[in-house]
Amino acid sequence: MKKRIISLLLVLAMLVSAVAMVSCGNTGDSGNEGENGGNGANKVRYDVPAEGYDGSEVTITFYHSMGARLQTVLDTYIPEFNKLYPNITIEHSSQGDYDGVRDQIKTALTAGNQPNIAYCYPDHVALYNVAKAVVPLDNFIESTITVTDANGNTSALGFTAEQIADFIPGYYAEGTAFDAAGTMYTLPMSKSTEALYYNKTFFEQNGLSVPKTWEEMGKLCEQIKAIDPDCVPLGYDSEANWFITMCEQYGSDYTSLDKNGHFKFDNDTNRGFVKMFREWHQNGWVTTEEIYGSYTSGLFTATEGQKCYMVIGSTGGASYQQPPQVDGNALFETDMATIPQVNPDAPKVISQGPSLCIFKDSNPQEVVASWLFVKFLTTNVEFQAAFSMASGYAPVIQSVQSNTVYQQWLDKANGINNLTALSVKLALSQSNAYFVSPAFNGSSAARDEVGKLMQSALVYTGSDVDAKIKELFEAAIYECEYAAH
Amino acid sequence: MADKLMSTMHEKDMQKVTAMQKVTKILVQFLLYAFLIVMALIIVFPFYWMIISSLKNTAEYRLPVPTLFPQEIMWGNYLEAFTAANLGKLFMNTVYVGIVSTILSLVVTVLSAFAFARLEFKGKNALFAALLATMMIPGELFTITNYVTVTKFGWLDSYTVLIVPFLVSVFYIYLLRQNFLQIPNELYLAAKVDGTTDLKYLWKVMIPLSLPNLISITILKMMGAWNSYVWPRLVTSTDDYRLITNGLRDAFTDMSGQANIPVQMAAVTVVSIPLFLVFIFLRKYIMKGVSRSGIKG
């Protein structure tokens, strides 16, 4: 009898907790957002307080993934910001890597404890927006409300036309990749891209020229393979970037914001280039990070055994492509160029690196203060210059290049021991070429799947290549659809 | 004659059988040891890999065919590990949380186990059954609800949040209660006749008799604090309160997502040393705890 009562009580407790959990799931807060859900041609709007920033004391939390060096830069400039807005306290902390930031915020959202500002990649924002947690920025950007800083100077809360024009267009556009209406959810903070690193010494010794198209790249690989039969001429670090970039360069479909069919990458053009690159790999012309088992910079800087003479990798990882030194002498010189193109007259290179997003909060003054800090970080020339020099990432505004200190730093770029500056210089020189893919909840699955597809296709050694490629594409689409639901 | 022959044959048979047994025994022993050595190597290999990786430079670490011994020994990785990860502060946090949570947890465990083992009160068995029932629910399930709770309490980013939620371990209470139950009732009654209070009896009799168990609990709890990762990662956002495991995971990745593995491995080696020492010197108690609990930590 006693046992029965206890069992009954326990069952009752389980039922109560189940009901409690269900009801907890319905406590979402849509924030003070306009009616438009972002599903049509209308942008999603956030109601900016009419008084703008009223000078109240607020504490802003900022989650990022900066290492110690970059945090020092940030700590130097927070006092500068506080000279303008002394009542806004900025508390920032590193959450490890980008995924660490995402995971932390994902959990924090369940308790309504999200930070005010965070480093983000587009697919993170798409994820946060499932809970409608991110502040749409258009009303801030367009705002003409006047704010007065501690020096008594007044300015508009939003951006001026000059400030918008100062952003590198490809980077700025990334903030609008979330819905068909082009609602702006993020501002770029610091950016990298992919570049072609090549062994300049080897190229000069053998009279080789840097390829501008994929066709030229194919021929060059054949030439290099003839010179050094043991080498793999080209290493491409990210299979996923390779696939996505090729889609963009060919103008073929990859993904779309269309809710009825996000994943559009299974088409003839894409199968065609995958087939071509598979042949390249089978000829021993190219390898990738996953196939090689490590970043291909390991092959590029190898002093013995197998080598490669070209690498396509992130400009953010430039220091890893620095030539090895023996007794203080570099074994070769590295140089950099834009990655090969389908159409060199309309180049396309991927845009990577963190953006900033602002989270909704019950106190609108925190949101406005967050906006002011984000505006400061993205438009302050000195900060953008210092951050770029410390990180090796490109600044997001063009006026940084006229900063004297920054100019001097860029001038010291060389292919022996200052590849970082060289990579930033290249990233800045191709500022008209950047693209971003649409971001939606599940867009990272597409990225993962096309990377795997590329890898599996390259290493396939069987005879029925077309059938295998077809199978891989169909499987990738299936996996994406599954992940998105 | 026939008898003699029979006995010689029997002896020969016996010798044969004994020889066979010996061979089989040696063979079994050989196979057993070969198996144990292979297993030991499999277990030791990750530690070996950790140590040699911590002494390589990045270029060597990234070689397509890994080297089994560093070509150039990079002691500097260890120095870099300390500066890059703020290991000193994280180390102190871990020690503080470990010691405080262990002491408080012991107090709770001892008092609860005593109550369940010795005191008589209404609903004792039902309460104990309810507590045991909570062990059926995996701890991970509580993570989100606990997170929401501590957020509402405003405990995030504090030592409290790292210590309080794990003060009560039903399993340790159960372990100690079983131990307390083995102590004869007569001792308790005799002590009562002598006018001893419950607490004094607990302190003077039960605790000394259960000391080996308490030491096991202490060590397992300390190891748990040292190894905990998910919860501290979730509830702390600054190095002021983070624990050592969080630093190890997060501090060595640069902006392009490339981790400096050799330096990370150097830090992991440093952090593993205290646990290694604890195991060397206190393995008797750890093994006892593990064998009784059937689980580690």
Contacts of B250 in chain A (CB under 8 A): 94-97, 100
Neighbours of A188 (CB within 10 A): 25
The alpha-carbon gap from A268 to the nearest alpha carbon of chain B, in Å, equals 33
**Residues of chain B contacting A61 with CB distance shorter than 8 Å:** 237
Structure tokens at A46: 């956030």
pLDDT digits (tens, 9 = 90+) for B74-84: 888 888 887 77
State the Cα–Cα distance between residues A134 and A116, nearest whole angstrom.
10
Span A190-242, pLDDT tens digits: 999 999 999 999 999 999 999 999 999 999 999 999 999 999 999 999 999 99
Q: Do B254 and A65 touch (CB under 8 A)?
A: no
H or E element in which residue A329 lies:
strand A329-330
Residue B147 touches chain A, beta carbons under 8 Å: yes
For residue B83, the chain A residues in CB contact (below 8 A) are 68
pLDDT higher than 80, residue A18? no
The H or E element spanning position A98 is: helix A98-110
Of A113, A292, A305, the CB nearest to B151: A113
Residue that the structure tokens 């600054």 belong to = B238
CA A286 to centroid of chain Cα atoms? 25
Least confident of A225-234, A296-305, B234-243, B253-262: B253-262
Q: What is the pLDDT of residue A22?
A: 43
CB contact under 8 A, A112 and B256: no
Q: A252-301, pLDDT tens digit by residue? A: 999 988 877 789 999 999 999 999 999 999 999 999 988 887 788 888 98
| Four-CA torsion A197, A198, A199, A200, nearest 10 degrees | -110
* Beta strands at A329-330 and A325-326: parallel, antiparallel or unpaired: antiparallel
Rounded to whole angstroms, the Cα distance separating A384 from A392 reads 11
CA–CA distance, A208 with A204 (Å, rounded to integer): 6
Of A113, A305, A314, the CB nearest to B156: A113
By C-alpha distance, the chain B residue nearest A2 is B126
The beta-carbon neighbor of B253 closest among A24, A96, A107 is A96
pLDDT for res A35: 39
First to last CA, chain A: 47
**% chain A with pLDDT above 90:** 60
> Could you give the 3-state DSSP secondary structure of residue A72?
helix
C-alpha–C-alpha distance, residues B103 and B125, integer Å = 27
Mean of the per-residue pLDDT values of chain A:
88
Structure tokens at A275: 């087939």
Nearest CA in chain A to B248: A96
CB contacts, 8 Å: B239 with chain A: 93
What tokens appear for A260 in the block?
Answer: 């009825």
Do A437 and A471 touch, CB atoms closer than 8 A? no
pTM reported for the whole predicted model: 0.80
Q: Is B21 helix (H, G, I), strand (E, B) or coil?
A: helix
Is the Cβ–Cβ distance between A273 and A249 less than 8 Å? Answer: no
Handedness of CA B21, B26, B31, B37 (dihedral sign): positive
- Percent of chain A's residues with pLDDT above 70: 92
Interface test with B, best of A10, A75, A93 (most B CBs within 10 A): A93
| Residue with tokens 């703008």, as numbered in its chain | A52
Contact residues on chain B for A104, CB-CB shorter than 8 A? 233-234, 237
Q: What distance, in Å, lies between the first and last C-alpha atoms of chain B?
A: 71
Residue ranges per structural domain of chain B: 2-54, 80-293
The amino acid that residue A223 corresponds to is Q
pLDDT of residue B67: 84
> Which positions ≥6 away from A94 have C-beta within 8 Å?
A63, A64, A65, A66, A67, A71, B250
pLDDT of residue B272: 87
Q: Write down the pLDDT at residue B71.
A: 85
List the single residue in A95, A299, A316 with the smallest CB-CB distance to B255. A316
Instruction: Please indicate whether, in this complex, the C-beta atoms of A65 and B64 are within 8 angstroms of each other.
Output: no
Percent of chain B with pLDDT over 70: 91
CB spacing of A298 vs B257 below 8 angstroms: no
Residue A484, pLDDT score: 78
Give CA–CA dist B215/B172, Å, rounded.
12
Q: With a cut of 60, say whether residue A32 has pLDDT above it.
A: no
**Selected residue with higher pLDDT from A186 and B297:** A186
For residue A249, the surrounding DSSP H or E stretch is helix A239-250
Residues within 8 A of A (CB atoms), B 72-101 only: 83-84, 86
Q: Identify which of A233, A366, A349 has the alpha carbon closest to the alpha carbon of residue A300.
A: A233
- Asked if A104's CB is within 8 angstroms of B234's CB, the reply is yes
Q: What is the pLDDT of residue A21?
A: 45
Please indicate whether, in this complex, the C-beta atoms of A317 and B144 are within 8 angstroms of each other. no
Q: What is the 3-state secondary structure (H, E, C) of B65-134?
A: CCCCCCCCCCCHHHHHHHHHHCHHHHHHHHHHHHHHHHHHHHHHHHHHHHHHHHCCCCCHHHHHHHHHHH
Beta-carbon separation of A6 and B257 below 8 A? no
A54: CB partners within 8 A, 6+ apart: A365
The pair of structure tokens assigned to A364 is: 């609108």
The letter for the amino acid at A130 is: V
Q: Which residue among B62, B126, B147 places its CB closest to the CB of A294?
A: B62
Least Cα distance to A448 among A477, A468, A469 occurs for: A477
Contacts for B270 with CB less than 8 Å, ≥ 6 apart: B78, B81, B82, B87
Q: Please answer yes or no on whether A104 and B256 come within 8 Å at the CB atom.
A: no
ipTM summary value: 0.70
Domains and their CATH numbers in chain A: 58-191+353-402 (3.40.190.10), 194-350+420-484 (3.40.190.10)
Q: Give mean pLDDT, residues A92-115.
A: 88
Distance CA B167, CA B146 (A): 13
CB count in 10 Å sphere of residue A125: 23
SS3 A10: helix
Q: Do B250 and A104 touch (CB under 8 A)?
A: no
Q: Do A301 and B59 touch (CB under 8 A)?
A: yes
- Please name the residues in contact with A238: beta carbons below 8 A apart, sequence gap of 6 or more: A194, A288, A289, A313, A314, A451
Contacts of A95 in chain B (CB under 8 A): 237, 250
Nearest to B173 by CA among B138, B209, B228, B134: B134
Considering only CB atoms, B249 lies closest to which of A6, A96, A301, namely A96
**Cβ distance of A10 and B62 shorter than 8 Å:** no
Q: Give me the CATH topology for the region B80-293.
A: MetI-like fold (1.10.3720)
| Euclidean distance between CA atoms A456 and A277, whole angstroms | 12
Please report residues of A whose CB lies closer than 8 A to that of B84: 67-68
Inter-chain CB proximity A112 and B151 less than 8 Å: yes
Q: CB B238 to CB A100 under 8 A?
A: no
Please give the pLDDT value at position A67: 80
